[in-house]
Amino acid sequence: MTVALRGLSTVVPPTVLVQPEVRDVFAAQEGLSRLSQRIISTSFDVSGIETRYTVLGELSRDAHPDEPVFFDIDSGELLLPGTKARNELYIEHATRLYLDAGRAAIEATPGVEASDVTHVITVSCTGFYAPGPDYVIARDLGLPAGVQRFHLGFMGCYASIPALRLAKQLCEADASAVVLVVSVELCTLHLRSSNDPDTIVASSLFADGAGAAIVTAREPEPGERAFDLDRFATRITPVGEGDMAWKIGDHGFEMVLSTAVPAIIGEHITGALEPLFAPEPALVDALSADASGDAIEHWAIHPGGRSILDKVEARLALSEAQLLPARDTLRDFGNMSSATVLFVLRRILDDAASADGDRVAAMAFGPGLTVETALLTVRG
């Protein structure tokens, strides 16, 4: 049975963050040490990001709210709201993005209607509420009353790949299944001024966005662009548990993202790919010969940061062109946690250079340090 990823759609909120302008705001905050100011300048300038998107309209140049919550544009001060205030904004804005992305995926899938959806899988690590987004999607998009719902929460940047794996498994168990997968991340709700280097790096990278798709064994329509979901694999690296973490604090969620992460990924990336490639000896041989870029045409790498992409490119001997979808996504949208790899896959699908039958290796990294991988084939 072939299970396909169809109707892949992405959505971002309307407020644009221009990287140098955000850098200057963070650098101007009171209480920063000289070292922190240097880290801010370096982190923002070498991030590979030009623009990001946020649900925080207060960060717009033209915003002048009577009672600012996150940013007082008149004084230039970044405020420090509590976790409850941040999560209330998550409920408001994430709900809208879940619905917009889910609706877009259904409308982009020929021959599939809302009434056909049998399962919903939602993904997020940047907020919580119940009844949750899976319930809201079922209610407001007109899905069947008996639709089965799952939420993958607080897994981090790699979570969309397990969501697609679960969707594939549901389709393999029931050939009539039509699974709607929606990832929404509002990372900017947790940005704050700090002297902590990990917090500064996170503030230079993270952004808001949503991605959604339909996973089903139904045959794509003639001419429809889609991906076959071939197989998935998971690896936990033997080191790095303390180098990437995501915890709930009194003033939002707190990211640990140490400078050791790119080196850990570079050291263990081939081992993480081995179980994915194992069923095809030619792919294993290419990996051993540092020729993975010759065996796999396209690489959907989660752009956790520019240094991570640099390590992946060098370690796997990939071409600059093979990293363009990831680098361009980072440049235009920043790191949107779990939603980001869906943006990268969308760019590959939109690329005129990707042809029917091309292989795609997807990879995302998160707490653990966990590496989630997927092998896909371009259809259409």
For the chain, the average pLDDT equals: 95
Pairwise CA distance, residues 321 & 134, whole Å:
37
Residue 20: Cβ-neighbour burial (10 angstroms; 0-12, 13-18, 19+):
exposed
pLDDT exceeding 90 applies to what percent of the chain? 87
pLDDT exceeding 70 applies to what percent of the chain? 100
In this model, does residue 244 exceed pLDDT 90? no
Active site residue 125: no
Cβ-Cβ contacts under 8 Å for 146 (sequence gap 6 or more): none
pLDDT in tens, 148-180: 999 999 999 999 999 999 999 999 999 999 999
pLDDT in tens, 336-359: 999 999 999 999 999 988 999 999
| pLDDT the model gives residue 63 | 72
Number of Cβ within a 10 Å radius of residue 294: 12
Residue type, 114: A
Q: Which two tokens stand for residue 233?
A: 């694999």
Q: Which two tokens stand for residue 58?
A: 């207060």
pLDDT in tens, 40-98: 999 999 999 999 999 999 988 777 788 899 999 888 999 999 999 999 999 999 999 99
| pLDDT the model gives residue 291 | 87
- Dump the DSSP string for 79-144: P---HHHHHHHHHHHHHHHHHHHHHHHHHTSTT--GGG--EEEEEESS---SS-HHHHHHHHTT--
| pLDDT the model gives residue 243 | 85
Q: Which two tokens stand for residue 289?
A: 């010969």
In this model, does residue 187 exceed pLDDT 90? yes
All domains in the chain, ordered by first residue: 229-379 (3.40.47.10)
Q: Are strands 178-186 and 208-216 parallel, antiparallel or unpaired?
A: antiparallel
In this model, does residue 112 exceed pLDDT 80? yes
| Catalytic residue (one of 125, 157, 171, 187) | 157
Tell me what the mean pLDDT of segment 233-249 comes to: 91
| pLDDT the model gives residue 24 | 95
